Structure 1
Amino acid sequence: MTRTFKSLFWGSCVALAAGCAIGKSESFIFTTDMPSNFTYEAVAQYAPVKGETCTVKKPDVGYNQRWRLEFREKYKPDSEIPIYRTVEGCRLVIYRVELDIYAAYGEDRGDFGSDTAVIVVREQLEEHQKRTFDTAGESAINGQCQWFFRTQGPKRRLSKSLICKKVDAQGMVTKGRPVGAYTLDQLPGKTVKLNIKLADEERPAIGDTWVKVPGGWKRCMGKSFEDQYAFCFGNYKDFSTFRMPDGKQCSIYPGCTE
C-alpha cells in the first residue's frame, strides 16, 4: 500500500510556488528522501534580527511560514525556505524549522503515524555542533523510523505508531530525534536533506501483549476478547484474532494467517 501527500506553502510570500522570487543568498532548499508512504510538514520559525527592536502583531502569520500537507495527493519534496523576511516592516531571521514526519499504514484518514525532526539555526555554533556540506552544497540529516503496533477497540483493530530516531555518522541509530544544526552563514544557496529509512522490523507498542512466534507475532487473549488491555500475564497459549486496517480478520502479524 502506498499513500502520498502534497506540501503547500503559505505566508507573506504566498506566490512562492508560482514563482515568487527569493534570491539564493536569502534562502536554502529543504528536501527529503523518504519511503513512498511518508511525507512531512515543515514550519519555519522566525524572530527579529539581532539589534531590531520591532515586533510583529500577528506571530502565527508573521513569525512562521508553513508548508502544509494534504493526504492522498502527490507532493514535491523540495521547499525553498527564506532565511530572512520582512513582515510589517520588521526584519526577521530564521532560527528553527520544525519538521513533522508522517507515514500512512492504511486507507482510512486516521491510519497514519507521526514523529518529529528539527533544523536549528544560530549565528554561531561550536565547530563540533555544526553540520557540514559536501562539494555539491548538500548536507544530510539522517534518521530511522520504526513502526510499533497494537490493537484497539472492541474488534481489536490493529493500529500503529511511528517513532523516529537520529542516525549518527557511523550509521548507528541513537537516542533523540533527527536533528541538524547550522549557522546563518552556512545556509544561503545550500540544500539540507532529511534522509529517512524505515526499520525492517516492527515491534509491539506495549510490552507483554504479543508473543513472538515463527512467522510473526500472536496477540494474547487476556481475560477475554473484550479485555482491552489483554496482557499475557504468563499465558502464552491462548491467543485472539485481530483485524487489520483493511478489515481482514487475522491470527498472526504481519502475515495474517499462519
Structure 2
Amino acid sequence: MRHLKYGLMLSGCLGLIAGCAAVETPNSFTFVPDFPADFTYDLTAAYVPGKGETCSVPGGKGTEVGFNKTNMKYQSPSEIELYRTVSGCPLALNRVQIKIIGVIGRDQKRTYSSYDYASFAVRPELQERHRGSIDDDGAGRFFGECQWLFRTVGPKRYITKILTCKRMDSQGNLGRGHPFTAYTLTQLPGKTVELQIRLAAEEEPYMGDTWVKVPGGWKRCMGKGFEDQHAFCYGNQTDFSTFRMVDERVCTIYPSCAENKDDAP
C-alpha cells in the first residue's frame, strides 16, 4: 500500500463556481497531557510497515520517534505523525507509550522523580467496542489516576516515593492495568488525543507492615534499628523511628510531620 508523505488526498467540491479541489488530510494528530502540577512526560511513538507492505527496516532503526527525551527541549503538547517512510519502507503508527513523570521537591535540595506508564494503540481497523471515541470537539480522551506510594531509604530514612498509575473511566471508576485506549488510523488525522490524569487524594505505604496508621498520618516502624532497611513492624506498634523529609525536616508522622524530633541520626 502506498502512503503519501503528507497524508491521503481527498477531493471535494468547494462550490459550483470554484469547482472541485483536492483537500489534503493531515498526516498528524496532537497529544495533549492534562496532568497534576509538577508532572511531566516523555513519549515514544512506534511504527510498523503499513497494511499490505512487505518491506522491513534494517535493524528497526528509525521505527521509533521520541518526544521530550533527555537533552530534548520539553514540549507540551506534542504533534505525532501517522505515516512516515524509513529506508524506503512506508510505515504507519502502531503504538504510543507515555511515560508519566512526577517530580518531588522541585524547589528543594533533594529533588527526585518517579514514573509510570500509559499508552494507546493505533491500528488500521478495530472492532467498535475496542475503539476509543473522538468527541465533537475533535478530541479523544482517556483517563487515569496516579498515586504516590511512600517509603524510606538509607540509614537516615529519607522519605522517597514511587508513582503508580491505573486506568480510569470517564466517570472516575478505577480499572485494572495502566491507562490505555485504542484508535484507528482514520480517526486521528488533525485530531487531538488527551490523557487526563488525576492524583489520588491520599498516599499509601509502598510496602505492607512497615508503617502504622495513626491520627494525622503514618508512623514508621523501627524494626531492628536505622540500619534495618526493611524494618517490618511484626506486630510491634510501640517502637517507631524518625525519618527525614525532602526538605531535611526530621519527623515522626508522615505526611503531616506534626511531631518533630531533634535526636534523629
- Normalising by the residue count of structure 1, what TM-score does the alignment of the two structures yield? 0.86
How far has the Cα of 1:69 moved from its partner? 4.1
The AA in structure 2 aligned to 1:66 is: G
Q: Which residue of 1 aligns with 2:80?
A: 81
The DSSP-based 3-state class of the residue aligned with 1:128 is helix
The AA in structure 2 aligned to 1:87 is: V
Map 1:227-246 → 2, pairs under 5 A = 227-246=228-247
Map 1:153-192 → 2, pairs under 5 A = 153-192=154-193
Q: Which residue of 2 aligns with 1:143?
A: 144
Gaps of 5+ in 1: 1-22
Gaps of 5+ in 2: 1-23, 260-265
How far has the Cα of 1:51 moved from its partner? 2.1
Q: Which residue of 2 aligns with 1:102?
A: 101
Map 1:1-258 → 2, pairs under 5 A = 25-60=26-61, 62-69=62-69, 75-107=74-106, 111-258=112-259
How far has the Cα of 1:169 moved from its partner? 3.4
- In structure 2, distance between residues paired with 1:228 and 1:169: 40
Q: Out of 104-113 and 46-55, give the one that drifted further.
A: 104-113
Q: 1:257 to 1:74 in 2, by over 3 A?
A: farther
Deviations along 1:136-175, one digit per CA (max 9) or x if unpaired, are: 1101110000000001111111110000001123321111
- In structure 2, distance between residues paired with 1:205 and 1:138: 35
The DSSP-based 3-state class of the residue aligned with 2:26 is helix
How far has the Cα of 1:67 moved from its partner? 0.3
Q: Out of 26-35 and 169-178, give the one that drifted further.
A: 169-178
Deviations along 1:164-187, one digit per CA (max 9) or x if unpaired, are: 001123321111100010011111
- In structure 1, distance between residues paired with 2:126 and 2:51: 16
Q: Which has the higher contact order (CA 8 A, sep 6+)?
A: 1
Q: Which residue of 2 aligns with 1:4?
A: none
Q: Out of 248-257 and 105-114, give the one that drifted further.
A: 105-114
The AA in structure 1 aligned to 2:51 is: K
The DSSP-based 3-state class of the residue aligned with 1:119 is strand
Aligned length: 234
The AA in structure 2 aligned to 1:194 is: L
How far has the Cα of 1:126 moved from its partner? 1.1
Identical-pair percentage: 52
- In structure 1, distance between residues paired with 2:44 and 2:213: 40
